[in-house]
Chains A and B, each alone.
Chain A
Amino acid sequence: MSRPRRERLRVAGVEAVGPYALVRVGRGGIDPGVPGQFVMLEAPGRVLPRPMSLCLAPRGELAFLLDPIGPGTTALARLERGDRLHVFGPLGNGFRLDMPRPLLVGGGIGIAPLPYLAEALERPPAVLGFRSALHAEAAVLLPNAEVVCDPTLVTDVMPLDRDVLACGPEPMLEAVRALVPDAQLAWEAPMACGYGACYGCVVEVDGELKRLCVEGPVLCSS
């Protein structure tokens, strides 16, 4: 596994993808890591960086899909080409890729790690769920995916005989796990450091508190 590095990188561009922002930065010496791993992105003007999984790894770049819903993600979405920010990664544990019949399942901004994962798995089938047609515009990042919108849920349409790799809101992950107990699930939590220092990012999985940054963010119960 690649050693995490912290570098100040240059923003190559920021593009709107539906209501989301795709932030591209020059790669520098940072390894893109395994799909599902994440980096900490300096959020301009904020005290703490923000954890973001890698969405795409175009040549010489790292690209992150984010939803500008709070002060940190809004500051990141407002970055402009040429701005510089600290990037620290890759961090955490990504998806296991040795699955014979992979199926990607994503919900909302949780589709963020799936495009890079799809590349690594040579474009397996995917099911994406969104809350509106505007949000569903982000499905452009995963051509050929089956897309559903609220009130239809991904769990209404996903086949159950596949090796599921999923990322999305907690209720979606719980519902996926209820149907496919050995699914690999990428979780999310507020995180201060990303490298095991703060103990802030615990989530309760099967009655146990797990530090997502070092034990996850991808967890599998079996």
Chain B
Amino acid sequence: MLLLNASGCLDALTAPEVASSLDAFVTKTVTPEPRAGNAPVRIAETEHGMLNSIGLANPGRDVFVNETLPLLTRTVHVPIWVSVGGFCVRDYVETCEQLAGDAVACLELNLSCPNVDEAPESAAEIVAACREVTDKPLYAKVSPHSWDMAETVRAVEAAGADGVSMVNTLRGVALDAQLRATLARGAGGYSGPALKPVALAAVLAARRATALPIVGMGGVCTGRDALELIACGATHVAIGTVLFADCDAPARVRDELVAEATRAGFGQPDDAFAFALQNVARLAN
């Protein structure tokens, strides 16, 4: 099992030591053109999570490839996964082509951005087109809004994905004391502890549909949370919102995971995967 960060939840240029404490670092999503991101207010805490509407702020793929990536390879001592975003198939394909160098260990296609059609055909179309131009491991990051997770996962697998990542944030709204939307854009992506049951269900549904590696994420705060994702079929686990509250979360979650696995009678955390098959079998249609 690898412990990663969820894309968008860590900037390795400002915190290289945090990125290096993971098993692999996932970049913020890279788009063809530079994006300043959305106007503030961009974040809002809620009772059991938080909303963000950052808006895929990034320097664009040219600056990323020529400036950011060389810096990352010098400061981050673990494999670098690049999150690729876009607004049409060609955006994804051309970015994948530009990321052919050795500095990139894996490509994660962000197929759950609000501006991309989330129908399985569209996700599969993007994966298939990217598969044509890259030999790197290709992960498809899918949305929890997907109406049929099993079908989405089967479609991206048939299109050539090497793995799937789930879940991205859920769309949410928070209101301030005067009952006005807190975020400048009104709605944002909901993350944090409240997302865990959604993530467990998504991973379970995906595991029933595929034998591909799954990066499970959504609301992981503790080693116990990570173990639960593995017991639902996650191969790897990513942490997101918890990194905002605890920059030492990678080491802590890893230690807790080993302790929780031992307590549950497993030799190692990966052994909890055996439970995934039972849990999948119990999942009603």
A200 to B54, CA, bound (A): 6
Query: Does the CB pair A195–B15 fall under 8 Å?
Result: yes
Residue B11, interface by CB 8 Å: yes
Q: How far is the CB of A147 from chain B (nearest CB, A)?
A: 28
Chosen A-B contacts, 19 in total, with CB atoms closer than 8 Å, are A6-B247, A46-B45, A47-B192, A48-B45, A48-B244, A88-B247, A190-B41, A190-B44, A192-B241, A193-B244, A193-B245, A197-B18, A197-B243, A198-B52, A199-B37, A200-B42, A202-B37, A209-B39, A209-B40
A189 to B184, CA, bound (A): 13
Instruction: Name the interface size band of chain A.
Output: 20 to 34
What is the number of residues of chain B that contact chain A, defined by CB distance less than 8 Å?
A: 34
A72 to B13, CA, bound (A): 29
Q: How far is the CB of B241 from chain A (nearest CB, A)?
A: 7
Query: Does the CB pair A193–B243 fall under 8 Å?
Result: yes
Residue A18, interface by CB 8 Å: no
Question: Which of B46, B57, B241, B247 meets A199, CB within 8 Å?
Answer: B57
Residue B33, interface by CB 8 Å: no
Q: Which 7 A-B pairs have the closest CB atoms?
A: A196-B14, A200-B43, A193-B244, A192-B244, A199-B54, A200-B42, A196-B11
Residue B283, interface by CB 8 Å: no
Contacts of B13 in A (CB 8 A): 196
Query: Does the CB pair B43–A190 fall under 8 Å?
Result: yes
Among residues 166 to 222 in chain A, which have CB atoms less than 8 Å away from a CB atom of chain B? 189-193, 195-204, 209, 214
Query: Does the CB pair A204–B40 fall under 8 Å?
Result: yes
Question: Which of A42, A71, A196, A202 meets B40, CB within 8 Å?
Answer: A202
Interface SS of chain B: helix, strand, loop or mixed?
Answer: loop
Residue A96, interface by CB 8 Å: no
Residue A131, interface by CB 8 Å: no
Residue A101, interface by CB 8 Å: no
Residue B48, interface by CB 8 Å: yes
Closest Cβ neighbor of B45 among chain A residues: A48
Chain B contact residues, CB within 8 Å of chain A? 8-11, 13-15, 18, 28, 36-37, 39-46, 48-50, 52, 54, 57, 192-193, 241, 243-248
Q: How far is the CB of B58 from chain A (nearest CB, A)?
A: 9
Residue from B15, B40, B54 having most chain A Cβ neighbours under 10 A: B40
Residue A86, interface by CB 8 Å: yes
Query: Does the CB pair B247–A202 fall under 8 Å?
Result: no
Question: Which of A42, A71, A190, A209 meets B37, CB within 8 Å?
Answer: A209
Query: Does the CB pair B42–A199 fall under 8 Å?
Result: yes
A42 to B247, CA, bound (A): 12
A190 to B42, CA, bound (A): 8
Among residues 25 to 79 in chain A, which have CB atoms less than 8 Å away from a CB atom of chain B? 42, 46-49, 71-72
Closest Cβ neighbor of A213 among chain B residues: B14
Contacts of A201 in B (CB 8 A): 40, 42-43
Q: Bits for A5-17, please: 1 = Cβ < 8 Å to B, else 0.
A: 0100000000000
Query: Does the CB pair A209–B43 fall under 8 Å?
Result: no
Residue from B41, B42, B48, B245 having most chain A Cβ neighbours under 10 A: B245
Query: Does the CB pair A197–B248 fall under 8 Å?
Result: no
Chain A contact residues, CB within 8 Å of chain B? 6, 42, 46-49, 71-72, 86, 88, 189-193, 195-204, 209, 214
Question: Which of A197, A203, A204 meets B244, CB within 8 Å?
Answer: A197
Contacts of B246 in A (CB 8 A): 6, 86
Residue from A72, A196, A204 having most chain B Cβ neighbours under 10 A: A196
Closest Cβ neighbor of B17 among chain A residues: A3
Q: How far is the CB of A75 from chain B (nearest CB, A)?
A: 12
Q: How far is the CB of A144 from chain B (nearest CB, A)?
A: 36
Query: Does the CB pair B48–A47 fall under 8 Å?
Result: yes
Contacts of B54 in A (CB 8 A): 198-200
Query: Does the CB pair B15–A197 fall under 8 Å?
Result: yes
Query: Does the CB pair B193–A47 fall under 8 Å?
Result: yes
- New A-B pairs, 10, CB < 8 Å, besides A189-B41, A196-B13: A42-B245, A47-B50, A49-B245, A193-B247, A195-B14, A196-B14, A198-B43, A198-B244, A201-B42, A202-B57
Q: How far is the CB of A41 from chain B (nearest CB, A)?
A: 11
Question: Which of A72, A192, A214 meets B14, CB within 8 Å?
Answer: A214
A72 to B44, CA, bound (A): 12
Contacts of B193 in A (CB 8 A): 47
A88 to B57, CA, bound (A): 25
A49 to B242, CA, bound (A): 10
Closest Cβ neighbor of B42 among chain A residues: A200
Query: Does the CB pair B245–A48 fall under 8 Å?
Result: yes
A25 to B44, CA, bound (A): 27
A198 to B192, CA, bound (A): 13
